[in-house]
Amino acid sequence: MTDEELIAELADLPASRLMTLLNTALSDRAKKKVYANGDTQYDDVICVATCTFGSNDGIVDECAIVEVCAQPTNDAVVLDDFSEQGRCEVCSTLLIANAKKAVCPICGTVNHLT
């Protein structure tokens, strides 16, 4: 499959399916280190995010909100849209998801979003 074919195939996917595929592929790249004193360090993490503009003209300004797409847990009810939001309980990353119960792609914590 060529890059162009892959891009065309991905572009045709519903947003929730695309997010699931990308988060799954990208999460396998994240490397977590836990030290003897309990500190945790992550290598650079690539993740999927959404940006909500602070104005109606579509121009990014200081009011833009960037939220990282969290992966629904296996037992979560998956919604049609990304309407659930919150802040990760452990790493404080702003999250958005298509389920009330989702995993932060930065630190792997299960969060309950609203």
Type and span of the H or E element at 17: helix 15-27
Its pTM stands at 0.74
State the pLDDT at residue 55: 64
d(CA 13, CA 20): 11
State the pLDDT at residue 30: 64
CB of 105 closer than 8 Å to CB of 30: yes
- Residue by residue, pLDDT tens for the chain (114 residues) are 899 999 999 999 988 889 888 888 887 666 667 788 888 776 677 888 888 776 666 666 666 788 999 999 999 998 888 899 999 999 999 999 999 999 998 888 999 999
d(CA 101, CA 19): 15
Number of Cβ within a 10 Å radius of residue 42: 13
* 3-state DSSP assignment of residue 67: strand
